[in-house]
Structure 1
Amino acid sequence: MRWPWSRSKQLPLLHVAIDEGTGPTVVLVHGIASSTNAFENVIPLLTPQHRVIALDLLGFGASPSPAGATYTIEEHVEHLEHTLAALGIERCIIVGHSLGSLIAARYAATHADEVRGLVLVSPPVYLPPESFGDPVERTAMGLYLRAYEFLRNNKRFTMRNAAVLARLSPIRDVLEVSERNWRAFTLSLEHVIETQTAVSDIAAVSAPVQVVYGTLDPFLMPGGLRIIEQMRHVSVHRVAGGDHVIRRRMARVVATAVASVSAHAADLR
């Protein structure tokens, strides 16, 4: 859905951290409690053949945190749309990581004419526990949701452990949960990840979809991935031994997926 200009012109723009290279446009959308730093291993692989735009999501990185924001997926998509329009982007490939993959899928589902292809990296595709026939998967999904609820309700615990994980990460400043972004973190977790429509959004995308994920990613739900893997327009790349972070090996796979989408779009012209 496009918002009337009378509304969208009042929205603050998202922070654009990177706008480099020439060629087909690739937009990078990071995950929760992160920033464009999540793509530091991907960007150098893309800029030789693409215009690469990396932006911070609403409430994260250097982007604004409006006082009245509720951080629903609709709100994230609205700000993404407004920022891309301000940059004059009419057609692009979108790469979303984690939370960003859910936002990218909704954007692609509602902006079919503007998205040449979609690359979803480490997508946390979740379903209500009762939708799983396998009791093990049903229990696992329930545990994920209870864990996220615990994180939202225990600020001190969450901030302390996020700081530990950030120090251990191979990518600098890739994770931040602080007083500054606590509201964006908890509401995005609740409104986008925990209560999501990723399966129906991905099914509604008309462009090709490439999915990249690590086999050791602790945040992925195999049952949800199996559903999207069976969709005819979805191709899957599994990175053996990869986790949730886009390390160099996974970055190369992401770049290959982008090149595949770009080549497909060129063939259609």
Structure 2
Amino acid sequence: MPDSLTFIGLHYWAGSGREFQQMAKLLAPTHNFLAPDLSGFGESVPPVGGGYSVDAYADQIASFIADKQIARYVLVGHSMGGKIALALAARQPAGLAGVALLSPSPPTPEPMTDEDRMASMRSYGKLTEAEKTFSKITARPLPEEIRQQILKDNMQSTRLAWDAWLLHGSREDISARMCNVVVPCAILAGDQDNVMSPSVHGLETLPLLPVGTPLEIIGGAGHLLPYEAPQEVVDLLRAFAEKL
């Protein structure tokens, strides 16, 4: 696929690149889909000096793209990965063709109460809490092996990366840079998302993106769109890619 578009997935907080496996299979005939584990999550190695800020993660993805020599690509940022994707897109890197945001964390500080933040910090490393989180953030039924994968990813997260996002990354405000995002963008959200409702995207993210950016709603889906609605997301990505 020499001249084709590559999709690069940036996963959610307490997740891993494995969340995009089903989408990668569905896109396989025509597009590559690569999804590295962000530092502190999945099978990643600890960051070298960079830490866990939004920009440090954007640096990580930029290095990944350079290492893989990817010529033309779309960033697919899910939740936490959405904010990281926007931070990278604002740098206007060579080869970036578009940005697709799945239930993204907004460029502004994430709407999270201090109570919720402290509860999330206390839940670290507890399987019972990971199971409660799974129930909260998904709306569609998922196979048991997928549930186990989601729980494993949650439990594999490092304490440093876990707390860094809750205390710092989610609170970062990169909205002033969004005028530098000039490639086509799209936002996809589930109407049953209990973490980031579609109204958050409409109020916090959409006004900062290029004029005409669509906000597509997937009915009956929760926060984990790559797991809950892989076919719908892939259909929307294909349509998005065709316009680039």
Give the aligned partner of residue 80 of structure 1. 61
Alpha-carbon separation, structure 2, partners of 1:226 and 1:162: 29
Per the TM alignment, residue 88 of structure 1 is displaced from its structure 2 partner at its CA by: 0.6
Per the TM alignment, residue 119 of structure 1 is displaced from its structure 2 partner at its CA by: 0.6
Size of the aligned set, in residue pairs, is 232
**Structure 2: runs of 5+ lacking an equivalent:** none
Structure 1 residues 22-73: Cα deviation after superposition (integer angstroms, max 9, x where no partner): 9321111111111122123311221111022121111111111137553001
Give the aligned partner of residue 117 of structure 2. 148
Give the aligned partner of residue 133 of structure 1. none
1:237 maps to 2:216 = yes
1:217 maps to 2:186 = no
1:255 maps to 2:234 = yes
The equivalences for 1:27-106 within 5 A come to 27-66=8-47, 69-106=50-87
Task: Tell me: CA distance 1:245–1:29, structure 2 relative to 1, closer, same or farther (3 Å).
Answer: same
The equivalences for 1:100-179 within 5 A come to 100-125=81-106, 127=108, 141=111, 143=113, 145-152=114-121, 154-155=122-123, 160-165=128-133, 170=142, 171=146, 172-175=148-151, 176-178=153-155
Instruction: Give the aligned residue type for 2:84.
Output: I
Per the TM alignment, residue 112 of structure 1 is displaced from its structure 2 partner at its CA by: 4.1
1:184 maps to 2:153 = no
Is the contact between residue 92 and residue 180 of structure 2 (CA under 8 Å) also seen in structure 1? Answer: no
Per the TM alignment, residue 86 of structure 1 is displaced from its structure 2 partner at its CA by: 0.7
Task: Tell me: CA distance 1:82–1:241, structure 2 relative to 1, closer, same or farther (3 Å).
Answer: same
TM-score normalised by L of structure 1: 0.74
**Structure 1: runs of 5+ lacking an equivalent:** 1-19, 130-140
Task: Tell me: CA distance 1:79–1:71, structure 2 relative to 1, closer, same or farther (3 Å).
Answer: same
Give 4+ residue runs of structure 1 displaced > 6 Å after superposition: none
The equivalences for 1:16-31 within 5 A come to 23-31=4-12
Instruction: Give the aligned residue type for 1:188.
Output: W
| Partner SS, residue 71 of structure 1 | coil
Is the contact between residue 59 and residue 184 of structure 1 (CA under 8 Å) also seen in structure 2? Answer: yes
Structure 1 residues 84-139: Cα deviation after superposition (integer angstroms, max 9, x where no partner): 1111113211111111111111111113432101110011327459xxxxxxxxxx
Give aligned-pair identity as a percent. 22
Alpha-carbon separation, structure 1, partners of 2:2 and 2:100: 19
**Bigger Cα displacement from structure 2, 78-87 vs 240-249:** 240-249
Structure 1 or 2, whichever has the larger Rg, is: 1
Task: Tell me: CA distance 1:50–1:240, structure 2 relative to 1, closer, same or farther (3 Å).
Answer: same
| Partner SS, residue 182 of structure 2 | coil
- Give me the CA root mean square deviation: 3.0
| Partner SS, residue 41 of structure 1 | helix
Task: Tell me: CA distance 1:250–1:196, structure 2 relative to 1, closer, same or farther (3 Å).
Answer: farther
Per the TM alignment, residue 142 of structure 1 is displaced from its structure 2 partner at its CA by: 5.6
TM-score normalised by L of structure 2: 0.81
